[in-house]
Amino acid sequence: MSDAAKEAFDALTETVGRVTVDDPKMQAENVDVFYAEKQAIYDVTLDVAKNEVVAMIGPSGCGKSTFLRCLNRMNDTIPSCKVSGNITLEGESLYSSAMDPVMLRARVGMVFQKPNPFAKSIYDNVAYGPKIHGLANNRAELDDIVESSLHRAGLFDEVKDRLNAPGTSLSGGQQQRLCIARTIAVSPEVILMDEPCSALDPIATARIEELIDELRENYAIAIVTHSMQQAARVSQRTAYFHLGKLVEVGETKTIFTNPSHELTENYITGRFG
Amino acid sequence: MSDETTQRVRATLKKRYLKEKLFRGFGITAIAASLGFLVILLGSIIYKGMPAFQATYLKVDITLNEDTLGVGGTVSDAEMQGANFSGAIKSAMRDRFPDVKKRKAKKNLYALVSSGAEYALAEYMINNREQFGQTVSLWLLADDEADALIKRNKDLSKPIRRGEFKNDSSALVTRLNKDQLGWLQSFKDAGDTDVRISSTFFTNGNSREPEQAGIRAALVGSAYTLLITFALSFPIAVAAAIYLEEFAPQNRWTDLVEVNINNLAAVPSIVFGLLGLAVFINYLQLPRSAPVVGGVVLSLMTLPTIIISSRAALKAVPPSIREAARGLGASPVQVVTHHVLPLAMPGILTGTIIGLAQALGETAPLLMIGMVAFIVDIPGSVTDPSTVLPVQVFLWADAPERAFTERTSAAIMVLLAFLIVMNLAAVLLRKKFERRW
């Protein structure tokens, strides 16, 4: 980081751009995250709107994944991780005692960086979520959920003849779409995606990006990505993180064509990252 | 690369290859040596143990009537059981060799037939009542000394290795005397000796007479003990491993528990025996020599082994699977039972089998709780007095009769076969649980 950029970062006390939206699905207010003594996220406020894709970009270690994982309390299992501030889903606080983390994760699904299908058949992979939550009353309903989820993930035609084949027998891109199908089978309200294409080739990536765009009709989506092109292609709003601070938020088009903050500009133009 | 560097690399290359060759040589030698020892060990055990599965029988004409047996032909089975079959056998032997008059000589003559023959004869009589009053030719089990000579087809005319023949390697080594060898020779000449495959070894319990001693009681005892060990240690150890690995917070207490489990795995087994004696037998008043106590003591010993290997197996399950399940809204217990445990099962089973194999071969702690008893009856439940295979090996190896040597080796063979069966079961179970994708 140049001296000028460092100065600009130190001077940054408030996020540039409008962090709130008119019709929020999830709201994060003044979120700080600590891993033991080390602070990973400083005072981040950000909304996720309904039917929009919000992309989080930034250099490695900027806290974008950490922030994403706060949105469905996946950080709970890390004992040293402390989250403060307020995060709400439809106005309900995530970290209040009234919110059950199991319930929350059924409402806020997650797709991970590396495709991680269960060591089960394709069918069972998708059926697992509905089964544990008791979403299907009988086998026929379960079949319907599995089929429609695979359809929506754009995978059904490729696997309809081998639903009993192991999920891991699919290619990387197919596995990731299977993981997406598995997530939407639970009918969540929000889908979090943590660099969902970083382990995939360009063709599989394009497929997933199309899918994300289609999914926007029904879900609120927050996606963390390393690829600025991807952020530009799939998202409506973009948030730029830097060393744990949320530097700038704005319309994706604006961020990529006319960023307001110096750090954002440096990153977009490839001066660091 | 310049010429000089090439030269230098070439010089070191030779050295490197030489080192590799040496290393390979060491490896192959080590493997060959261990295989060689294994072959020698197994070979000697099998060679020594095989005769235990054969028994020699002598054909004797026995008169079964009221004179010889002392009872009528129509008495109840119980009374028939108590009839003087030993007398009948003795008189049959006297009839065969009428020249034997002296009391001591007669005693020697009777000693050729196993003392267990009368029970076989009683059973025969009860099942063949119509032959009462007749003289029948029957095959009687021979005594162990006679059995050893006939079985190995020894030349009975050779001098017996005693006194001046001490250093004569061609002499016979036997406790039989010259007269007895003569009588045996006459049986042999008449074709009245027969070496048969015998299942006695597998059907009988222990006995003072080697030709009647069998492994059954110890085998059943071992099976009961292992059953108890498995039933106790497997669920407890797996539950402990899952708790420590998946649920327990990482703090000083769990560290302490972990250190203690590791230490427990290194505690000499005799200490567990002492604990069993003090707690289970003296304090809780559980029966002595019983598989239930043996099983509890051995499961204390196996617990750390299974816990350690189960934790390793759980640790090996990729965290991404846990995250995936958690991300779908699976509760912590569902994450474990639906995903982690099935994936860790092969490793857990391997650890369990290793632990049980250790328990199967364990002797010392069982000596402390009295499982070193002389057991004739096959134990019928886990509270009956019994012994186990390795203890039986220990007991027989200690016995003075030479015929017990072959029983010892045969018992070792059974012990090894038991182990192989257990390992096979483990492999099959692993195959069943293993998800190859």
CATH class of A3-119+189-268: alpha beta
- What pLDDT sits at residue B415? 93
Q: Would the CB atoms of A118 and B321 count as touching at under 8 Å? A: yes
**Residue tagged 């090894």 (tokens):** B416
3-class DSSP state for residue B342? helix
Alpha-carbon distance A108 to nearest alpha carbon in chain B (angstroms):
8
Amino acid (1-letter code) at residue A60: S
- Mean pLDDT calculated for residue range A191-211: 87
Q: Would the CB atoms of A117 and B324 count as touching at under 8 Å? A: yes
A-chain CB neighbours of B437 within 8 Å are 119, 166-169
Scanning every residue of chain A, which has its alpha carbon at the shortest distance from the alpha carbon of B323?
Answer: A74
Q: From CA A137, how far away is CA A135, in angstroms rounded?
A: 7
Encode pLDDT of A208-217 as tens digits.
Answer: 898 899 888 8
Q: Would the CB atoms of B329 and A132 count as touching at under 8 Å? A: yes
Alpha-carbon distance B376 to nearest alpha carbon in chain A (angstroms):
52
Q: From CA B236, how far away is CA B163, in angstroms rounded?
A: 62
Q: From CA A228, how far away is CA A62, in angstroms rounded?
A: 15
Which is nearest to A228 in space by CA: A272, A262, A192?
Answer: A272
Please check the confidence at residue B283 and state whether its pLDDT lies above 50: yes
Alpha-carbon distance A74 to nearest alpha carbon in chain B (angstroms):
7
Please check the confidence at residue B352 and state whether its pLDDT lies above 80: yes
Contact between residue B359 and residue B302 where contact means Cβ atoms under 8 Å apart: yes
What's chain A's average pLDDT? 87
Instruction: Provide the pLDDT confidence category of residue A273 given band limits of 50, 70 and 90.
Output: very low
Range of weakest confidence among A4-8, A123-127, B39-43, B268-272: A4-8
Contact between residue A123 and residue A141 where contact means Cβ atoms under 8 Å apart: no
Task: Indicate which of A65, A68, A69, A77 best probes the interface with B, i.e. most B CBs within 10 Å of its own CB.
Answer: A77
Amino acid (1-letter code) at residue B433: F
Residue B8, both tokens? 């230098």
Encode pLDDT of B224-235 as tens digits.
Answer: 999 999 999 999
Backbone φ and ψ for B265, nearest 5 degrees, come out as: -65, -20
Q: Would the CB atoms of B329 and A116 count as touching at under 8 Å? A: no
Q: From CA B327, how far away is CA A117, in angstroms rounded?
A: 12
Q: Would the CB atoms of B331 and A102 count as touching at under 8 Å? A: yes
Task: Give the domain ranges of chain A.
Answer: 3-119+189-268
Residue B227, both tokens? 């059953």
Backbone φ and ψ for B60, nearest 5 degrees, come out as: -130, 140
- Mean pLDDT calculated for residue range B22-40: 97
Beta strands of B125-265 (E only): which ranges?
Answer: 135-141, 193-197
DSSP state of B84: -
Which is nearest to B131 in space by CA: B190, B68, B195, B198?
Answer: B68
Among the partner-chain residues A128, A129, A166, the one whose CB lies closest to the CB of B437 is: A166
Task: Indicate which of B247, B253, B328, B337 best probes the interface with A, i.e. most A CBs within 10 Å of its own CB.
Answer: B328
Scanning every residue of chain A, which has its alpha carbon at the shortest distance from the alpha carbon of B247?
Answer: A77
**Residue tagged 């290793």 (tokens):** B354
Please check the confidence at residue A53 and state whether its pLDDT lies above 70: yes
ipTM, two decimals, is 0.85
- What pLDDT sits at residue A272? 61
Among the partner-chain residues A77, A132, A179, the one whose CB lies closest to the CB of B334 is: A132
Q: From CA B238, how far away is CA B307, in angstroms rounded?
A: 6
CB pairs under 8 A between A and B: 68
Alpha-carbon distance A3 to nearest alpha carbon in chain B (angstroms):
40
Q: From CA B216, how far away is CA B418, in angstroms rounded?
A: 13
> Degrees (nearest 5) of the Cα angle A43, A46, A50?
160
Which whole-number Å values give the CA distances from B244 to A4, B100, B109, B250, in the listed order?
50, 78, 70, 9
Q: From CA A94, how far away is CA A87, in angstroms rounded?
A: 6
3-class DSSP state for residue A242? strand
Amino acid (1-letter code) at residue B133: G
Residue B277, both tokens? 């004696």
What's chain B's average pLDDT? 89
Alpha-carbon distance A43 to nearest alpha carbon in chain B (angstroms):
25
Q: Would the CB atoms of B249 and A79 count as touching at under 8 Å? A: yes
Q: Would the CB atoms of B328 and A169 count as touching at under 8 Å? A: no
Interface of B with A (CB under 8 A): 249-250, 318, 320-321, 323-331, 334, 338-339, 342-343, 435, 437
Residues facing A39 on adjacent strands: A34
3-class DSSP state for residue A225? coil
Scanning every residue of chain B, which has its alpha carbon at the shortest distance from the alpha carbon of A178?
Answer: B324
Q: From CA B58, how far away is CA B146, in angstroms rounded?
A: 10
One of 1.20.1730.10, 3.30.9.10, 1.10.3720.10, 1.20.120.140 is the CATH number of B216-433, namely: 1.10.3720.10
CATH 1.10.3720.10 domain locations along chain B: 216-433
Among the partner-chain residues B323, B329, B330, the one whose CB lies closest to the CB of A112 is: B323
Q: From CA A169, how far away is CA A174, in angstroms rounded?
A: 9
B-chain CB neighbours of A114 within 8 Å are 320
Residue B311, both tokens? 């934790």
Alpha-carbon distance B250 to nearest alpha carbon in chain A (angstroms):
8
Q: Which residues fall within 8 angstroms of residue B314, CB to CB, at 6 or more apart?
A: B241, B242, B245, B246, B340, B341, B344, B347, B348
Alpha-carbon distance B234 to nearest alpha carbon in chain A (angstroms):
24
B-chain CB neighbours of A102 within 8 Å are 329-331
**Residue tagged 């972990």 (tokens):** B258
Encode pLDDT of B126-176 as tens digits.
Answer: 888 888 888 889 999 999 989 988 988 888 888 777 766 667 777 778 888
> Degrees (nearest 5) of the Cα angle B263, B268, B273?
115
Q: From CA B226, how far away is CA B224, in angstroms rounded?
A: 6
3-class DSSP state for residue A83? strand
Contact between residue B93 and residue B112 where contact means Cβ atoms under 8 Å apart: yes
Report how far apart the first and last C-alpha atoms of chain B are (Å, whole number).
Answer: 46
Contact between residue B396 and residue B411 where contact means Cβ atoms under 8 Å apart: yes
Encode pLDDT of B99-117 as tens digits.
Answer: 888 999 999 999 999 988 8
